[in-house]
Structure 1
């Protein structure tokens, strides 16, 4: 099987790491070591291997300095600062979508704390995106998972997100265009 080069597909990836995690308090879990490297570093390396057209990491004031250090080791990634990160994940997604350069076919919304996502995972999701299937979301043990791939037609809605529900409202209102993998 050929390794997917998502740049060929005109796709981009974005990671959210902009506000404190409720379970870890003042500790930025994305900078915590897992298997000898910071947690976020695993996902950034996978995105680099997948060869996205663009990689945007959304930061907020709370952990910006921690994440900046990780971005310095990831030349393929760039920061988009969310000044309203404390208002919820929706604002981070909106900031990331607004930072996209060009007109890619779609964008992956990734959580920064997912070190086990592989280039094959990204490739399988990208393969399912079509004109009819405009949102692709994986499942794990029958439950919806991440990363989620949104076709370009949803960028306007994503750019207007607010609050802490992320993009679930878009997914809930589009069952006919959703492909669960």
Structure 2
């Protein structure tokens, strides 16, 4: 199965929307039972996909932003991230041995700032400027650090 299908399976119990861009023609036949939004601006970078997802869930208190190329995140990791959320957290960031990873749970209070992002900048740019007291961290598996961008990444595992 393609990596994205394995990744989607991790989030099967959650309400979700899948944002697709470059590989829309290859992915759509695999995603027939999912809510899918095509991002015509995918060439402009990940910020355009994140913003589309946040707009879809604009009435929610927080949104988990997950990447399709991270198939080793576990359901347990996802549960830990969601359960760590509290009103004082502007974001819940998973860590593994002190290193920050993904997916990140983003509070609605940051949606406006994220709307201003341009290009290939993710929410990390905003989160890195925040004080530690505004963020919550939760220890997770190594899967929160592993993304598969190229075939070589997969071969290394």
Report if TM-score (shorter chain) is over 0.5.
Answer: yes
1:59 to 8, 13, 20: 20
* Other-structure match for 2:6: 42
- Cα RMSD (Å) of the superposition? 1.5
* Other-structure match for 1:9: none
Structure 1 length as normaliser, TM-score? Answer: 0.70
Equivalent-residue separation in structure 1 for 2:27 and 2:130 (angstroms): 33
The question of whether the paired residues in 2 share the 8 Å contact of 1:108 and 1:148 is answered with: yes
* Other-structure match for 1:70: 30
From the two aligned structures, give the one with the greater strand fraction: 1
Give the gaps of 5 or more residues in structure 1: 1-36
**Secondary structure of 1:55's aligned partner:** coil
User: What is the CA distance between 1:119 and its match in structure 2?
Assistant: 1.7
1:121 to 65, 74, 77: 77
User: What is the CA distance between 1:126 and its match in structure 2?
Assistant: 0.9
**Secondary structure of 2:17's aligned partner:** strand
Structure 2 length as normaliser, TM-score? Answer: 0.80
User: What is the CA distance between 1:151 and its match in structure 2?
Assistant: 1.3
Count of residues in correspondence between the two structures: 137
* Other-structure match for 2:60: 104
